[in-house]
Amino acid sequence: MYKLCDHLSDDEIKKLKAKKKEKMSRRVLLELMGVRRDTYKRVRGAIRRK
């Protein structure tokens, strides 16, 4: 079975593992998903913020 880690050096593997452990706050995650973004609606041809 082909594995990516077979072709990486030990230093590269350590860097990848370190990135996986990075924690993000709930607020940052919601912002990335676009939950707190403004929503727009068309009213009589004009676009208004809801």
pLDDT, tens only, 15-26? 776 666 667 788
- Give residue-wise pLDDT tens across range 1-50: 456 656 667 777 777 766 666 677 888 888 888 777 888 899 999 989 87
Domain boundaries, the chain: 23-50
Compute CA distances 44 → 14, 49, 50, whole Å: 57, 13, 14
How far apart CA 34 and CA 28 sit, in angstroms, is 10
User: Given CA atoms 2, 18, 32, 35 in this order, what sign does their dihedral have?
Assistant: positive
pTM of the model: 0.33
